[in-house]
Structure 1
Amino acid sequence: KPENPALWWVSGDGEEVKWSFEELGVLSRQAANVLSGACGLQPGDRVIWILPRIPEWWLLNVACMRTGTVPIPGRQQLTAKDILHGLQKSKAKCVITDGSVAPAVDSGGPEWQSLKAKLLVSEGHREGWLNFRELLKHAPSDHHCVTTKRQDPMAIYFTSGTTGAPKRTAHSHSSYGIGLTVSGRYWLDLTPSDIFWNTSDTGWAKSGWSSIFSPWIQGACVFAQKMPRFDPSIVFESLSRFPITVFCSAPTAYRMLVQRRLSSYKFRSLRHCVSAGEPINPEVTGEWEEHTGLDIHEGYGQAETVCSDTLQDDPEKTEATIRGKFYVTGDRGILDEDGYFWFVGRADDVINSAGYRIGPFEVESALIEHPAVVEAAVVSSPDPIRGEVVKAFVVLTSKYVSHDPEKLMHELQDHVRKVTAPCKYPRKMEFVQQLPKTISGKIRRNELRQKEWRKV
């Protein structure tokens, strides 16, 4: 029974919602009765939901666990075709969304006839839809949780798609409930007195990890803001205004933040910062520490991991990831003489040039240290002598856009030679306005790499 609320949600325009854990319990029992009553859902039924950062997203997560229904979170940017594909693949029995996505669902056609219900989480009426907020007002608050086994599926999340099309990964009632105890206690360093803000999109597994399980297992308060897209000014204002003690965001977000005037803000309550999704560059962590006095603690994980059970209805792919008692991540790393593991990159991303194995992250970090570079992505490129060489795609700062490209390329190549090693410098370089990224902000190196190798 911590003093902090379980959920502290702000709209950005003055509206706030604060639920204690007791209130969350009552409301989630009512929500569970909506799912099993008006919607007619049974334990094991799959539910596609596409919701922004609104309080009902947290409420429905708990309600699904109570009823044994399996949520499949999706992103707001999904098209009608994407949603239809998800329905066909998942055999979902219900769709839950708000007024902005409902029209795309209604354009789906006869395939939607298999649904037991369509649940609208917004004000107003829509033909053919049940209104969640209206039903919740009249739902009883007594509900007995469905008994689930530890290996029963609890949720299905999509991978970020950095190495190809996103894959569906299933997690059980035990994997998140047990596996994320370690995350909340040791990586996020949460206690019942903390207020924790994770900026992850509600469609990603990271929201399950760090917006539900890790903080609530520790009794910490989850802070959330209705932010349609990542906005550095909103983040700065919220970290300054609210007593947020622990902050988690993606490396891309931190890169955007350090490009602003950090010294103009004071985060008086902030004590611990973490990052995940892809490696974060030392240049970024250095800038953040210089202005906030706080280090950024990196976490490593995948949507497939945290004791995950399966890759979504695909036993062959699941089996291919298992080696005895071990799960094969598809990532490369090195073990140093002190027994520490160091992340190098995705197996597909590692560049083999004339016998040298080069991780793109080290080269990217070296490039970002140069004042001319905002962002960089490094991939392999075909070479008749070395087989493949390092190629860098570079986004320049506004001050360097007008510089002579040839001279600037040589300057950056020399810089990488000095910072890393002569064998690792990018022999090819292309200046671009932006880099291809997933919706969560991860660089899609596979897209750049395929572009290079299609030229062969």
Structure 2
Amino acid sequence: MSGIQLESILTEARVFPVHEDFARQANLNSEQYAALCRRAEEDPSGFWGDLARQELAWDKPFTQVLDDSRAPFYRWFADGELNVAANCLDRHLSSPTRNKAALIWEGEDGEVRTFTYGQLHREVSRFANVLKKLGITTGDRVAIYMPMVPEAAVAMLACARLGAIHSVVFGGFSAEALKDRIEDTQAKLLITADGGFRAGRVVHLKQHADQALMRDGHSVDKVVVLRRTGQEVDMLDGRDLWWHELMQDAEPQCPAVSVNAEHPLFVLYTSGSTGKPKGIVHSSGGYLLWSALTMRWVFDIKPEDVYWCTADIGWVTGHTYALYGPLAVGATVLLFEGVPTYPDAGRFWAMIERHGVSVFYTAPTAVRALMKLGEEWPGKYDLSSLRLLGTVGEPINPEAWMWYYRVIGKERCPVVDTWWQTETGGHLIAPLPGVTPLKPGSCTRPLPGIFPDIVDEEGDPVQGTEAGGYLVVKRPWPGMLRTVWGNDARYLETYWAKFQNRYYVAGDSAHRDADGYYWIMGRIDDVLNVSGHRLGTMEIESALVSHPAVAEAAVVGRPHEIKGEAITAFVILRQSHVQDDRDRLTEALRQHVSEAIGPIAKPDDIRFTDNLPKTRSGKIMRRLLRAIARGEEITQDTSTLENEETVRQLGR
């Protein structure tokens, strides 16, 4: 095979040059970028070693940059020692940054709390002393199951301060999901809350935690409970302890434990094709280095910026770009408990105005959902503080990109469309806002030190720009995952075995245009085989959303006795078209896709809906859509959905 043949690539023709004003003040200019890329190519050890020494504070300097003796189990800076929490907090205390806002938190009800770097250091030290009194030591695993509140960040940093390994479980996950993660890591302690607030509803976290711990013989000794909602909860005598009571007498000083650079910082679970989540293990030194570098390079972060990553702290985006990365570089971070449409569709834009946000990073699903509601909502607010926009989580279709650039950024803010994964630790392919001309829908070019390629089924590089294939990374980088927790064999099988350990296999399909820009077409398993033609779901979705009536679309395949797979599209209309005749619109959309891609890509079935089944992080659960398209009974866990009623509506 010569790769995944795409009948027609929806490559955006428009190119947006770098704004001269932005380029003049950018952390990286074109000459610096070119020099970094040359150094990474010619002297990788010197490249990474110098960056690690410049960016991080080491308790024990490393002497070896990369140990590849057990590849693909790579080890970075392995004879060096440091502490992640000290790099995020302590080293800022001897500078004016001590009195700068580290975290600004806004609750769903509008409550605002601010922590300077000095105050956050004090809170983290106090809670680290609480953990020590509860018997937590270096290497112990701690499960964190909390709402999006500052105490979640404090808990993570306190674990890092002691060298304990945290496993954050997103507060929207079910009791069963929490139980599975506790069992897999053998967590000694669980940190949770009485509940949380989401879209005006109370999420019963303590109740779910109790259900997760019902099985005899679980590993959890103690449960620390934060009082957030004030609701009555059951407290098991001898096991359950209130956060506020433990913190009353906690000392505000706690020495940071120096750990090996390869010591695991956290285990974070991501979905697996088998249905059993994979515990992705990230190191301390390499992960923190890549988090900090990408903050400087991609977000062009400045001391005066107010930076807002809308991701929940329970996801890798929240780990890297709402906590560790920004704190490592001394940034001011905005954290938000709620959702973008509560109490109304202006919440995001009101918060940008209220807090003077300058760098804004969110998911394409949020952009599309807000785009659907029209321009009047952002038009009510002053967004002039913004200077940079970003997207994360999945490819952004060109129409949503243009709306974001035009309506939110007023055509003056670069849009950094970032490609990365839980496994990569941070951005791998993304625009550098002072260097890279932008193409809507493309994550553009790899960052310095990252060497991707596109290969066919045999692992040979794909030639030409009209062919897609497997996206792979040819060289290791410091922020990469180290293994799957407790399962080295699964690490090898999932990420390396496909091409005999030659490349890291991302699992995404992509193509590269004549300018060397990368276009992510979706997961390899989201490629449809229609009458022998391989079609990426992403390009069909992009074709649908490019129609003026469509706000969002999701495409899946279902078995077809003649064509192999038939195409089913789930479509959300813009408000201005919800009253349109559906039969006419269906035919118009099928013809629109035919013209954009080719007749082979015309959806066999178009279903109009008000919502798509999304997780609380904004990702579309395409497995559920596939089951619905096939008329199958839903047997999967739907407790992670934002709105479970969506599945019932779609299945009618």
TM-score, normalised to structure 1, is 0.91
Structure 2: segments with no counterpart, 5+ residues = 1-95, 196-204, 426-479, 633-652
Q: Report the AA paired with residue 199 of structure 1.
A: T
Q: Secondary structure at the match of 2:259?
A: coil
| Structure 1 CA distance for aligned equivalents of residues 515 and 403 of structure 2 | 28
Q: Could you tell me which of 193, 201, 211 is aligned with 1:98?
A: 193
Q: Secondary structure at the match of 2:248?
A: helix
The residue that corresponds to 1:146 in the other structure is: 257
The residue that corresponds to 2:113 in the other structure is: 17
Q: Superposition pairs for residues 99-114 of structure 1, below 5 Å?
A: 99-100=194-195, 101-107=205-211, 108-111=213-216, 114=219
Instruction: Indicate how the Cα distance of structure 1 residues 360 and 14 shifts in structure 2: closer, same or farther if over 3 A, else same.
Output: closer
Q: Report the AA paired with residue 305 of structure 2.
A: D
Instruction: Indicate how the Cα distance of structure 1 residues 4 and 254 shifts in structure 2: closer, same or farther if over 3 A, else same.
Output: farther
Contact 2:340-2:347 within 8 A present in 1 as well: no
Once the two structures are TM-superposed, the CA of residue 412 in structure 1 deviates from its matched residue by 0.6
The residue that corresponds to 1:411 in the other structure is: 588
Q: How many residues in Structure 1 have an aligned counterpart in Structure 2?
A: 454
Give the root-mean-square deviation of aligned CA atoms: 2.5
The residue that corresponds to 1:218 in the other structure is: 329
Q: Could you tell me which of 339, 344, 349 is aligned with 2:526?
A: 349
Q: Secondary structure at the match of 2:255?
A: coil
Once the two structures are TM-superposed, the CA of residue 138 in structure 1 deviates from its matched residue by 1.4
| Structure 2 CA distance for aligned equivalents of residues 56 and 141 of structure 1 | 15
| Structure 2 CA distance for aligned equivalents of residues 233 and 161 of structure 1 | 35
Post-superposition Cα deviations, 1:78-125, rounded to whole Å, max 9, x if no partner, equal 333333232222211001011122233234325366323211122789
Contact 2:183-2:218 within 8 A present in 1 as well: no
Q: Could you tell me which of 588, 607, 616 is aligned with 1:430?
A: 607
Once the two structures are TM-superposed, the CA of residue 449 in structure 1 deviates from its matched residue by 2.9
| Structure 2 CA distance for aligned equivalents of residues 386 and 343 of structure 1 | 25
Q: Report the AA paired with residue 83 of structure 1.
A: L
The residue that corresponds to 1:390 in the other structure is: 567
Q: Superposition pairs for residues 129-168 of structure 1, below 5 Å?
A: 129-159=240-270, 164=275, 166-168=277-279
Post-superposition Cα deviations, 1:1-52, rounded to whole Å, max 9, x if no partner, equal 3363111123355643222222222222221111111x11121111111111
Is 1:316 aligned to residue 485 of structure 2? no
Post-superposition Cα deviations, 1:161-211, rounded to whole Å, max 9, x if no partner, equal 799554321111123211212320122221222111111122211110111
Post-superposition Cα deviations, 1:401-451, rounded to whole Å, max 9, x if no partner, equal 554433222111111222333433323323334322223111122332344
Is 1:71 aligned to residue 166 of structure 2? yes
Contact 1:275-1:296 within 8 A present in 2 as well: yes
Contact 1:163-1:446 within 8 A present in 2 as well: no
The residue that corresponds to 1:275 in the other structure is: 391
Is 1:57 aligned to residue 57 of structure 2? no
| Structure 1 CA distance for aligned equivalents of residues 542 and 273 of structure 2 | 19
Instruction: Indicate how the Cα distance of structure 1 residues 110 and 407 shifts in structure 2: closer, same or farther if over 3 A, else same.
Output: closer
The residue that corresponds to 1:290 in the other structure is: 406
The residue that corresponds to 1:241 in the other structure is: 354
Instruction: Indicate how the Cα distance of structure 1 residues 385 and 188 shifts in structure 2: closer, same or farther if over 3 A, else same.
Output: same
| Structure 2 CA distance for aligned equivalents of residues 99 and 22 of structure 1 | 28
Instruction: Indicate how the Cα distance of structure 1 residues 341 and 371 shifts in structure 2: closer, same or farther if over 3 A, else same.
Output: closer
Once the two structures are TM-superposed, the CA of residue 72 in structure 1 deviates from its matched residue by 1.1
Contact 2:108-2:336 within 8 A present in 1 as well: yes
Is 1:182 aligned to residue 355 of structure 2? no
Q: Secondary structure at the match of 1:268?
A: coil
Once the two structures are TM-superposed, the CA of residue 376 in structure 1 deviates from its matched residue by 1.0
| Structure 2 CA distance for aligned equivalents of residues 376 and 10 of structure 1 | 31
| Structure 2 CA distance for aligned equivalents of residues 104 and 163 of structure 1 | 24
Once the two structures are TM-superposed, the CA of residue 344 in structure 1 deviates from its matched residue by 1.1
Structure 1: segments with no counterpart, 5+ residues = none
Contact 2:101-2:115 within 8 A present in 1 as well: yes
Contact 1:6-1:216 within 8 A present in 2 as well: yes
Higher relative contact order (CA 8 A, sep 6+): 2
Deviates more, 1:277-286 or 1:439-448: 439-448
| Structure 2 CA distance for aligned equivalents of residues 440 and 167 of structure 1 | 18
Q: Secondary structure at the match of 1:114?
A: coil
Deviates more, 1:380-389 or 1:151-160: 380-389
Q: Secondary structure at the match of 2:526?
A: coil
Deviates more, 1:155-164 or 1:76-85: 155-164
Contact 1:358-1:424 within 8 A present in 2 as well: yes
Contact 1:68-1:146 within 8 A present in 2 as well: yes
| Structure 2 CA distance for aligned equivalents of residues 421 and 186 of structure 1 | 39
Deviates more, 1:390-399 or 1:193-202: 390-399
Q: Could you tell me which of 424, 431, 445 is aligned with 1:305?
A: 424
TM-score, normalised to structure 2, is 0.65
Q: Superposition pairs for residues 182-201 of structure 1, below 5 Å?
A: 182-201=293-312
